[in-house]
Amino acid sequence: MKDKVSNKFDVGIVGLGSTGKKHLQFYLKNKQVKKIFVSEKKKLKNTSTYLIDRNLFDFKKTKNKKLLSISSYDNSHSNLIIKNYNRSNIFVEKPMCRSLKDLNSIKKLVKKNKYKNLLYSNLVLRSSKILNSIIKQVQTGKFGKIYYFEGDYLYGRINKLRYGWRGKDKKYSVGLGGGIHLIDLMISFFNELPISVYSNSNKFTTKNSFFKNQDFIQSNFFFNNGAIGKITSNFGCVHKHQHVLKIYGTKKTFIYDDMGIRVFKNYDPSRGKIIKFDKLYPGKDALLPTIFSLLKKRKNYKKQIDKELNLMTAAIYADISLKQKKKININY
């Protein structure tokens, strides 16, 4: 007798590092998940609650709805997407790819499959309640016209470049690995895509380490209405891990830094409204409930996937500008 197809999801997980374990913990508690298949090269303990499936053969054979959760090293993301999108929804750690060639392959694949499965990146700041509240205020005109966005990704974890897998990855990009969070927010705040970008970089703090790429990148993005966004990926900084955000509108200013969150409505700095800064950050698995909320709707995923692909386009062009050492137009 054949097994009945379940309304629940079978989940495949690739990579059980610190982030992958967060994924696993969430799926184990989620009532919408039927079976969990884990692909991991290292030996695993306490595997009674999930199945070891190193090449995802068993996961691919199941007839239930599927969700592939990718939390492996950056250089494997695009290949896993390309191999599995036609049969599975995908939740992938950023970045989903690192080159225009891979991005174009993913674009062709999702179009060929008519956007039938969800493709979603884990950009956790999307779940920040305070940032979503400010974005809504911006989009309803309460900040006036936004003319400048400034976002600094202060990594503060230099040993991950000096001694971790990032240092061993010859193509690792601090922009795609970190600054992309802020590019994503910038696009949301402007509610518009940048039309050009000019990137610069330097390498001081990892100069004598085996990390061979640039550890500091600054990218200036330009918008059709004249607005400007500046994004920095500062991986070698002597600082705690933090994001610094500044959004300037003609009516209001929003700032988040070491002093917390402030919203200014007038030109008297002493009258800025202070909000507790611990409300800014969601957890590492914050977007996983969003994934199931989107999957539950069972609608065409074109709008969401196009958002992911446009973000990747802008971020990759920032790296291309860095290599070409000039301002370039972004071709979506």
| CATH of residue 39 | 3.40.50.720
Residues 6+ apart with CB under 8 A from 88: 12, 66, 67, 68, 117
Task: Say which residue the tokens 């969003």 belong to.
Answer: 290
One domain, residues 169 and 263: yes
One domain, residues 273 and 325: yes
Identify whether 4 is part of a domain.
Answer: no
Is there a contact between 322 and 218 (Cβ–Cβ < 8 Å)? Answer: no
One domain, residues 49 and 137: no
Residues 6+ apart with CB under 8 A from 133: none
Instruction: Please tell me the distance from the alpha carbon of residue 248 to that of residue 168, in angstroms, as a whole number.
Output: 39
Identify whether 159 is part of a domain.
Answer: yes
One domain, residues 160 and 249: yes
Joined together, the tokens standing for residue 141 give: 């005109």
* pLDDT confidence of residue 227: 98
* pLDDT confidence of residue 293: 87
Domain count, the chain: 2
Identify whether 2 is part of a domain.
Answer: no
One domain, residues 72 and 167: no
Identify whether 146 is part of a domain.
Answer: yes
List C-alpha distances in Å: 74 to 28, 102, 170: 25, 13, 11
Of the candidates 38, 34, 36, the one whose C-alpha atom is nearest the C-alpha of residue 6 is 34
Specify the pairing of strand 33-39 against strand 9-14.
parallel
One domain, residues 205 and 99: no
List C-alpha distances in Å: 2 to 7, 62, 63, 105, 174: 16, 12, 11, 36, 49
| Per-residue pLDDT in tens (0 to 9) along the chain, 332 residues | 455 567 899 999 999 888 899 899 999 999 999 999 999 876 666 667 888 888 899 999 999 999 999 999 999 999 999 999 999 999 999 999 999 999 999 999 999 999 999 999 999 899 888 899 999 999 999 999 999 999 999 999 999 999 889 989 999 999 999 999 999 999 999 999 999 999 999 999 999 898 989 999 999 999 999 999 999 999 999 999 999 999 999 999 999 998 888 888 877 766 666 655 555 666 666 778 888 888 887 777 999 999 999 999 999 999 999 999 999 999 99
Instruction: Please tell me the distance from the alpha carbon of residue 191 to that of residue 98, in angstroms, as a whole number.
Output: 24
* pLDDT confidence of residue 46: 60
One domain, residues 212 and 75: no
Please give the single-letter amino acid code of residue 49.
Answer: T
* pLDDT confidence of residue 1: 41
Helices (H), 200-329: 288-297, 302-324
* pLDDT confidence of residue 270: 65
Of the candidates 153, 129, 130, 135, the one whose C-alpha atom is nearest the C-alpha of residue 252 is 135
Identify whether 306 is part of a domain.
Answer: no
Joined together, the tokens standing for residue 38 give: 């884990």
The DSSP output letter for 123 is -
Domain boundaries, position 57: 9-124+287-299
Specify the pairing of strand 146-154 against strand 242-249.
antiparallel
One domain, residues 324 and 176: yes
- Write the DSSP assignment of 151-212 as a string of letters: EEEE---THHHHTSHHHH-TT--HIIIIIHHHHHHHHHHHTS--SEEEEEEE--TTTTSS--
Residue 255: beta bridge partners? Answer: 246, 262
Identify whether 57 is part of a domain.
Answer: yes
One domain, residues 294 and 238: no
> What kind and span of H or E run contains 274?
strand 273-275
Identify whether 304 is part of a domain.
Answer: no
Identify whether 94 is part of a domain.
Answer: yes
One domain, residues 89 and 163: no
* pLDDT confidence of residue 188: 96
One domain, residues 250 and 269: yes
- Write the DSSP assignment of 132-165 as a string of letters: HHHHHHHHTTTT-SEEEEEEEEE---THHHHTSH
CATH number for the domain harbouring residue 264: 3.30.360.10
One domain, residues 143 and 207: yes
Residues 6+ apart with CB under 8 A from 227: 145, 146, 147, 148, 149, 190, 192
Is there a contact between 147 and 228 (Cβ–Cβ < 8 Å)? Answer: yes
